[in-house]
Structure 1
Amino acid sequence: MKQFDVQLIGGVVLHQGRIAEMKTGEGKTLTEVCPAYLNSITGEGVHIVTVNDYLAERDRELMKPLYDYLGVSTGVVISNINPQERKDAYSKDITYITNNELGFDYLKDNMVKTKESRVQRGLNFAIVDEVDSILIDEARTPLIISGQGDEPTNLYQITDVVVKSLSEEDYKVDEKERTVTLTESGVAKIEKFFGIDNYSDLEHFDLRHHVGQALKANFDMKKDIDYMPKNNEIYIVDEFTGRIAEGRRYSDGLHQALEAKEGVRIQSENKTLASITYQNLFKSYKKLSGMTGTAQTEEEEFRETYNLDVIVIPTNKPIQRIDREDKLYSSRIAKVKAIIKDIVETHTTGQPILIGTSSIEKSEELSELLSRKNIPHNVLNAKFHEQEAHIIEKAGMKGAVTIATNMAGRGTDIKIDDEVKKLGGLKVIGTERADNRRIDNQLVGRSGRQGDPGESIFYLSFEDDLLRVFSSPEILDKLEHSLNKNGQSDVLIQNKFFTKRVREAQKRIEGMHFESRKDTMKYDGVINKQREIIYSQRNEVLDTDNLVEFIDKMVKEVVSSKLHTLRLKLDDETYIDKSIEEIFIDYLDEINPLLFNKDFVTVDRVLDVYNKNNSIEEVEHYLYEKSIDKYNLIKQSYDEYMFSSIVRGILLSFVDLNWMEYLESITHIKQASQLASYKQQDPLQVFTLDSFEEFNELVKRIKISTVVSVFNIELGSGCETF
């Protein structure tokens, strides 16, 4: 096995912690061998991250003999293995894994109750295959581990019915921003239906939220494009791959709104137990690198977000594929007719064809039209994703016609034989330009691998979303004028001017998405700092050999803080008419249940201490000493290992409980911060301040709850009470 020079160059780039852009078919699987081996020598582990289980297993099996020869161990983490198998796989020198499994294992490791239950051993070096898909396309979608939430209210069904009854003048859809808002007439109808005076009042916040999600579900989210009903459930369709996003649900009530829209069972809103974005997950690696066929268009974002440079690796052989000018039609119907005509004519020659579509609906429409023409073909979309690799592998055979949504089948090469090469290689037909140039480049890159011949062409129409929504009115006027000038109602001759305008529209959308991801990262960056604090302290609790010293410090801090409230009572105006005895009674009623679990400290004894020198400080000191005596008695009634185990369990339980509640509250804090702009305030700044205030309260609650629970531990055997 010998690497091409370009594969060695790619390996150097990966070892340097950069992104190597390598075209489809250039051998990325072999390129990663040298940097993976070199970085595995440290013994800290290397993760080779890919997009699905099939590719992870395939690449590991393919490369295992070579790694065995080199003396390094390999493992693979896929969805159906148990925790011990996961731990074993992560312990290997090189581990193949999907981005999903990596992220969820990271979150689960930060929820374990014993350090032995962890499966990962740290994030050292990662080589991310299809790096643009994982670090860019999925950057806004957080990984979430959920628990059972409260049962959904009937407000989802009610708001769905109300929203469906609205007229077009009652709401406004912004297709660019993908938002739906009520007009004045819409607000009036909502107020009338629910019998309220002012829809904007803070007391109607929950109603506004439900109505907003119902509006988005009904007038923005598209069936078989954004989601797909299946088996009485709603499944998310990944906008970039066309695959079903298994195990994911839209958050913040949107999924329930879609369930109400489609009339399927409305499931409860899950409570978030743990969450992280891919941005912050992969930024946690000591060294990060990646490979893809399409990274250069996102070079700025890779550098700004991940501090990763993009290096374009030359192809081993010159590209022979012919990329033809786009064909533009006045209507979608005219465009589809032209596509079918092209497919039929090409199919008669035996040249294989790969047709890229933007949605399940459009792929099935095209499939129906081809069936009427008796053209045998395969369809690859979210409904048939199980056969993905098998269908893609055969797409280069003579006479093959394959319809695929977006980037379905990424990572699987389409190979052609000598007979197909003589026919012109694989022909790629794009049925419209995607919002993102990378998606188009990925589709085109399926053809012409390793210097093979090939061909690509895109068909567009005025009715395509890209042109209809994102092109300027001036451009559309020019397009229409050009058609009329040519006296043609169907087709516009291929024209470089309009091709350039399409690229400009794509760049604008890419810029919008980049800004959206940056906005997401700013907010999640705030939460990530807090997550790092919680996870760091949690790991300290799990790993420390001296937990008793850790708890000793916490007990003294909390006890001092609680006892200091006596001074606050003396300064409180509500106590101004009370005697010192009455103040002590109120005070002891508060602290006895917390620190002593019984009426251990009497008012008479506290008064005796106070009356010696009329000193509050001496009372506080007396109570502090008694509290520490109580704590020491509990601690000494167990051996150190047993006491540490009990306290560790208590502390971790309160950390997890409070963090879960914090993640739930942070959603509301973020929603509330968006209203700050109406007060001429920066929403991000408001969110940052409010979230850290809430986080500081969280830390206090963890400490207080833990110490109170420690003071309520039953004494161990053979120990006398006070």
Structure 2
Amino acid sequence: MSSSGALTRSVRRFLGRPGTVAPTGLRPLVRRAGERESALRRLSDAELRAAADALRIRAGGTQGSAARGTGKSAAAHGTSWDEEALVELCALGREAGRRALGERAFDVQLLGMLSLLRGTVVEMATGEGKTLVGALAAAGFALQGRRVHVLSVNDYLARRDAEWMRPVYELLGVRVAYVTQEATRTQRQTAYAEDVVHVAVSEVGFDTLRDRLRTEVAELVLPAPDVAIVDEADAVMIDEARIPLVLAGGVAAGSDEAEAARLVADLVEGVHYEAESDGMSVHLTDAGVSEMERAFGVDNLYARDMGERLSQVNVALYARALLRRDVDYLVREGRIRLVDANRGRLAQRQRWPDGLHAAVEAKEGLTAGPRGEVLDQLIVQDLIGSYPTVAGMTGTAVIVSEQLREFYRLETGDLPTNMPCVRVDEPDRLYDSEQSRDAALLDLVQRAHASGRPILVGTRDVAKSEEIGAAIRESGLDCAILNARDDTREAAIIAEAGALGAITVSTQMAGRGTDIRLGGRDGADHEQVAELGGLLVVGVGRYHTRRLDDQLRGRAGRQGDPGTSVFLTSLDDDSITRYAIDPPPRAARVEADGRIRDAAVRRYVEQAQRVAEGALLDTHRTTWRYNQQLHHQREEILDHRHDILHGDAAAEILAELRPERWAELESAVGESVLAEAARQLLLYDLDRAWSDHLARTADLREGIHLRALARQNPIDAFHAETQRAFASLLPTAHEAAAAHLDTAHITKSGLDKEQSDVTRPSSTWTYMVDDQPFESLRDPFLTTIGKRLRSATTGEN
């Protein structure tokens, strides 16, 4: 860290600003752990495990202490350790890592472990060994009798880390498992019963959603949430927090979206519609409105009864004009696959809302995929918030420290690197156009490659990575391309990116999970590559947040290795044209190759990135604010559902609502059979009522922005109407269950669900719904519809 950076952190700590938690009081513990090292090395594996068991007993922890499936947050198990126990934990963890992996934990790794045990989000640079830190902290919590979920960004990392760290866990007497999307319910139950589970955050979220709809206690797979250690914490807790997780039941697909897409396909840009230069919004012109009215055979597209049609047209127009193939999505095996903008890879089980997704399918001429009736949904923020203890680690936490404090009440601190970072981060090289920028990039790659220096070129999207890769190959050089089109060879490509003469072109590097070692996987040419200056990282345009820039930079200079990073940007980069507030200032001088060195123009580029970061924060806040009331309502429903599933609430409610029918059935089938039938009836109608409530609130949110025309705050209006709708939910569900009881087919064998008309969807499916594109429709949509509404009222043309 530079001296100016250290001074800034010191001032921030003095002021109590986020991102400044120091490992106060922890360094002496680590030093004392070092004094135990020689004694522990003399122990056998069995003796080492016995020492860990003694530590477990000392902490009051017992294996398997968290009960499964209560549906409520668990109280913290175990007790806080004293300093002696923490010293012993550090020493045992270091020795376990040395024996199992041949990796002796650095002092800073032990500081990281202790910081995680404090419930802190720690920033550790790439290559500093976060995986071992997370495993040692997870083992520490487990030895206290806590049940730990290590949450990652994808299945690959969950499986890899659990298998990689398993020998460490076993030496410490801790049981570990992992869960991926292929796991069966029985496999999930078994895995979640272990002390530590490595699992993708989306997968544990989907298991939470499925458990919320279980009708038998024995079918529950999740224990009550206890400890979450979040790997790549900024990606999971900030980026993923904007994307709700959804559980849906299949329903028949409609054809309205396909018709709207077909009609929109005939519209001409500049005549029938106009797209804003920032690429964020598009709207019909007057000619376009007239054309749509003619096509639908109506007089006024903005009439009250045309709301659904108007929404379909706007969504189809958005899909056609603003969503770009090979940038925002790929077409693979006849399906639309979204590209994760933060990682440049295919987003697993992710889709846009049904209308937009169907519009893109129609745009590409694909058969419409399954449509879903939303049964329940969950945002990552609420999932993480359900754990009594949360800690995290990432290479870029301090930048989002204020958000982590605002949304999760978590403090953030950065740890020093084990070896001083000597990477050289050059100032951006700014060019007047994308063409001149790319020409300079190719020249830079050719000159660096001539010396044998390995090069990593980072791009924002699939299309750009393939364009640059093709240009490099056309120049006579070979390169590896890593993007969403072929991410199956990811680990192998990254492992060799530091080899002598290697050229790698990749989309975003965040969460790749593999270090780039100088000299390649085996480090054979490490010294030669180091003498050439180490890995050269070249960013093609700034990302929408400095975090992603820093994550790319951090691929060079690991563990004291030399390295260089530089970003080549241009004034027509997407991140600038979308978010810059004003036109760029006139450059005092543009060099022959298109390079601009003007300080004012450079500040303009940096301002655009700050605006982008602000827009993302606003999106996060908006998602959170819209969800808050639904979250509290869902908690009320879950409490009631828990009482029904685990107790006699259903029998009490239905016996009171239908006393005569209850007495009749009780004498015919017996008390226990009737109580179970009542449970199934009330669970069905309660879940049905909640699904209907979600559908109503989704429709409400989709049009709530129109309240701004009446000078109402849309979020306040949404909350008010949502609360009114929820007020009658429980009485309605109870009465619906009572009505079902009147006609239910119940025998001594139990409830016949089909004859009683309480069958659930034959199949359910899960996905993450990226609903933010609709946000960008709203401002221009308000302008257009406001004008149309005024015309309808005044008779103006």
Fold match by TM threshold 0.5: yes
User: Which letter does structure 2 place at the counterpart of 1:402?
Assistant: T
Report the 3-state secondary structure (helix = DSSP H, G, I; strand = E; otherwise coil) of the residue aligned with 2:419. Answer: coil
Q: 1:704 aligns with which of 699, 711, 735?
A: 735
Q: Report the Cα offset of residue 489 of structure 1.
A: 4.0
Q: Distance in 1 between matches of 2:570 and 2:686?
A: 56
Report the 3-state secondary structure (helix = DSSP H, G, I; strand = E; otherwise coil) of the residue aligned with 2:418. Answer: coil
Report the 3-state secondary structure (helix = DSSP H, G, I; strand = E; otherwise coil) of the residue aligned with 1:148. Answer: strand
Number of residue-to-residue matches in the alignment: 640
Q: Distance in 2 between matches of 1:252 and 1:691?
A: 22
Q: 1:414 aligns with which of 508, 516, 540?
A: 516
User: Does the 8 Å CA contact 1:388/1:409 hold for their aligned counterparts?
Assistant: no
Aligned residue in 1 for 2:546: 437
Aligned residue in 2 for 1:478: 586
Query: Any gaps of 5 or more consecutive residues in structure 2?
Result: 1-97, 99-103, 519-525, 750-797
Q: 2:651 aligns with which of 551, 555, 559?
A: 551
Give yes or no for the alignment of 1:162 onto 2:270.
no
Greater relative contact order structure (CA < 8 Å, 6+ sep) = 2
Q: 1:140 aligns with which of 242, 264, 267?
A: 242
Report the 3-state secondary structure (helix = DSSP H, G, I; strand = E; otherwise coil) of the residue aligned with 2:376. Answer: strand
User: Does the 8 Å CA contact 1:242/1:406 hold for their aligned counterparts?
Assistant: yes
What percentage of residue pairs aligned between the two structures are identical? Answer: 33
Give yes or no for the alignment of 1:535 onto 2:635.
no
User: Which letter does structure 1 place at the counterpart of 2:170?
Assistant: D
Q: Distance in 2 between matches of 1:356 and 1:496?
A: 25
User: Does the 8 Å CA contact 1:388/1:408 hold for their aligned counterparts?
Assistant: no
User: Does the 8 Å CA contact 2:279/2:322 hold for their aligned counterparts?
Assistant: no
Matches within 5 A, 1:118-129: 118-129=220-231
Q: 1:647 aligns with which of 678, 688, 695?
A: 678
User: Does the 8 Å CA contact 1:253/1:269 hold for their aligned counterparts?
Assistant: no
Matches within 5 A, 1:72-221: 72-162=174-264, 164-174=266-276, 176=278, 178-221=280-323
User: Does the 8 Å CA contact 2:494/2:514 hold for their aligned counterparts?
Assistant: yes
Deviation string 1:110-159 (CA, Å, 9 cap, x unpaired) is 11111111111011110111111111112111111222223222443344
Report the 3-state secondary structure (helix = DSSP H, G, I; strand = E; otherwise coil) of the residue aligned with 2:346. Answer: coil
Q: Report the Cα offset of residue 160 of structure 1.
A: 3.7
User: Does the 8 Å CA contact 2:230/2:393 hold for their aligned counterparts?
Assistant: yes
Report the 3-state secondary structure (helix = DSSP H, G, I; strand = E; otherwise coil) of the residue aligned with 1:260. Answer: helix
Deviation string 1:214-240 (CA, Å, 9 cap, x unpaired) is 111111111111111122221111111
Q: Report the Cα offset of residue 691 of structure 1.
A: 1.6
Report the 3-state secondary structure (helix = DSSP H, G, I; strand = E; otherwise coil) of the residue aligned with 2:586. Answer: helix
Query: Any gaps of 5 or more consecutive residues in structure 1?
Result: 560-626
User: Which letter does structure 2 place at the counterpart of 1:276?
Assistant: L
Aligned residue in 1 for 2:617: 514
Aligned residue in 2 for 1:229: 331
User: Does the 8 Å CA contact 1:156/1:210 hold for their aligned counterparts?
Assistant: no
User: Does the 8 Å CA contact 2:246/2:378 hold for their aligned counterparts?
Assistant: yes
User: Does the 8 Å CA contact 2:458/2:539 hold for their aligned counterparts?
Assistant: yes
Q: 1:462 aligns with which of 568, 571, 593?
A: 571
Q: Distance in 2 between matches of 1:395 and 1:716?
A: 68
User: Does the 8 Å CA contact 1:40/1:94 hold for their aligned counterparts?
Assistant: yes
The structure-2 alpha-carbon separation of the partners of 1:95 and 1:502, relative to structure 1 and needing over 3 Å to count, comes to same
User: Does the 8 Å CA contact 2:257/2:359 hold for their aligned counterparts?
Assistant: no
Q: Report the Cα offset of residue 504 of structure 1.
A: 2.2
TM-score, scaled to structure 2: 0.77
Q: Distance in 2 between matches of 1:105 and 1:685?
A: 32
The structure-2 alpha-carbon separation of the partners of 1:376 and 1:408, relative to structure 1 and needing over 3 Å to count, comes to farther
The structure-2 alpha-carbon separation of the partners of 1:374 and 1:714, relative to structure 1 and needing over 3 Å to count, comes to closer
Q: 1:66 aligns with which of 143, 163, 168?
A: 168
Deviation string 1:563-601 (CA, Å, 9 cap, x unpaired) is xxxxxxxxxxxxxxxxxxxxxxxxxxxxxxxxxxxxxxx
Report the 3-state secondary structure (helix = DSSP H, G, I; strand = E; otherwise coil) of the residue aligned with 1:229. Answer: strand
Matches within 5 A, 1:44-59: 44-59=146-161
User: Does the 8 Å CA contact 2:257/2:358 hold for their aligned counterparts?
Assistant: no
Q: Distance in 2 between matches of 1:509 and 1:390?
A: 33
Report the 3-state secondary structure (helix = DSSP H, G, I; strand = E; otherwise coil) of the residue aligned with 2:371. Answer: coil
Q: Distance in 1 between matches of 2:599 and 2:414?
A: 26
The structure-2 alpha-carbon separation of the partners of 1:342 and 1:482, relative to structure 1 and needing over 3 Å to count, comes to same
The structure-2 alpha-carbon separation of the partners of 1:630 and 1:358, relative to structure 1 and needing over 3 Å to count, comes to closer
What RMSD, in angstroms, separates the aligned Cα atoms of the two structures?
2.1
Q: Distance in 2 between matches of 1:408 and 1:164?
A: 40
Aligned residue in 2 for 1:591: none
Q: Report the Cα offset of residue 332 of structure 1.
A: 1.3
Q: Distance in 2 between matches of 1:250 and 1:543?
A: 36
Report the 3-state secondary structure (helix = DSSP H, G, I; strand = E; otherwise coil) of the residue aligned with 1:433. Answer: coil
Q: Distance in 1 between matches of 2:131 and 2:271?
A: 55
Q: Distance in 1 between matches of 2:308 and 2:625?
A: 25
Aligned residue in 1 for 2:139: 37
Q: Report the Cα offset of residue 176 of structure 1.
A: 4.7
Q: 1:664 aligns with which of 695, 703, 708?
A: 695
User: Does the 8 Å CA contact 1:47/1:96 hold for their aligned counterparts?
Assistant: yes
User: Does the 8 Å CA contact 2:277/2:577 hold for their aligned counterparts?
Assistant: no
Give yes or no for the alignment of 1:248 onto 2:357.
no
Q: Report the Cα offset of residue 241 of structure 1.
A: 0.7
Q: Report the Cα offset of residue 187 of structure 1.
A: 2.1
Q: Report the Cα offset of residue 169 of structure 1.
A: 4.4
Aligned residue in 2 for 1:599: none
Aligned residue in 2 for 1:347: 449
Deviation string 1:529-558 (CA, Å, 9 cap, x unpaired) is 1222222222222222xx1x55224542xx
Q: Distance in 2 between matches of 1:387 and 1:516?
A: 33
The structure-2 alpha-carbon separation of the partners of 1:715 and 1:449, relative to structure 1 and needing over 3 Å to count, comes to closer
The structure-2 alpha-carbon separation of the partners of 1:497 and 1:155, relative to structure 1 and needing over 3 Å to count, comes to closer
Report the 3-state secondary structure (helix = DSSP H, G, I; strand = E; otherwise coil) of the residue aligned with 2:241. Answer: coil
User: Which letter does structure 1 place at the counterpart of 2:585?
Assistant: D
Q: Distance in 2 between matches of 1:414 and 1:700?
A: 59
Instruction: Please say which of residues 157-166 and 451-460 is displaced more in the overlay.
Output: 157-166
User: Which letter does structure 2 place at the counterpart of 1:527?
Assistant: L
Matches within 5 A, 1:675-714: 675-713=706-744
Give yes or no for the alignment of 1:634 onto 2:634.
no
User: Does the 8 Å CA contact 2:544/2:613 hold for their aligned counterparts?
Assistant: yes
Q: Distance in 1 between matches of 2:596 and 2:707?
A: 51
